[in-house]
Amino acid sequence: MKQADFERRHAPLWERCESLLATPAQDGASLPAVYRQVCAHLALAKQRRYTPELVARLNDLAGRGYFALYGASRKHQRLWLRFFVVDFPAAVARNRRFVLAAALLFILPGLGLGLAAWLTEDAIYSFFGASQVREFEAMYDPANARVGRDRDSQDDWQMFGFYIYNNIGIAFRTFATGLLFGAGSAFFLVYNGLAIGGVMGHLTRAGYAVTFYPFVIGHGAFELTAIVLSGAAGLRLGSALLLPGNRSRLGALRQCAPETAVIIYGAAAMLVVAAALEAFWSSRTSLPAGLRIGVGGVLWCLVIAYLATGGRRAA
């Protein structure tokens, strides 16, 4: 087909596309169909080597049509980027008092029982039963082909789902029980701190440090931090109930809900990353222990720097 005939036949459609792009509210529902036709015409014009002026006009229409249709989607993607770069670390920074309180409730009891379990063989049994202790020892026995829960390599995806379910369940309980005037969040922070610290101390005393620490250090950077952040969000809820100020308790909860939701969304994302690392990286005994410890140390530094500097950038 000659270019003149091509332009004469399709010019009304191109003019309609121009009109829709100028005033999309007029008939926005028909823009996708018109856009597809313009893209087809652009491909034909290039294939038939029509004049550069016509190709440029159709290319301009196609580009503007793409932006009109998918610009909102790209904006949505930018919102997600803003959430992780600005909103999440800024919310953590604004609630640093609750983050510090949650970290102390989690770390100090863990250090206490961990030290006791390392110094005294029977200390671990004050928190765990004998069968649980034997299970921990079996999971981290250096003689095992794989560290952690017993599974085959083909079960990695199944374990990934299990870790997400388990970790998010712990984090949600730690957060949601903050509605009990903060007491529930404080309880779960102390409980999880004691459990993790006790296992660390006992396995170190038993000589399993060579398998335990390379396994936990990588995903622990995300998992343990997320649990602390979930507890901080729960303590924020409890504070709103205990000290509502000149508002009703329900009003105080409504006011802090957006902030705590941001922290919980970010913590949930961190737990997904932790689950992926635990399922596909941490249990790989084929990798040198020094490599896994080194990578884990880097991840801890990155997580701390991300939360610390992100809040300052936002401010």
pLDDT in tens, 143-166: 765 665 555 545 667 777 888 888
In the chain, where are the structural domains located? Answer: 3-78, 95-314
Per-residue pLDDT at 255 = 87
Low-confidence ranges of the chain (pLDDT < 50): 153
Per-residue exposure over 141-177, b if at least 16 CB sit within 10 Å of its own CB, e if not = eeeeeebbeeeeeeebeebbebbbeebbebbbbbbbb
Per-residue pLDDT at 312 = 61
Per-residue pLDDT at 33 = 84
Per-residue pLDDT at 101 = 97
Per-residue pLDDT at 20 = 83
Per-residue pLDDT at 93 = 92
- Cα 127 from Cα 107, distance rounded (Å): 16
pTM for the predicted model, two decimal places:
0.73
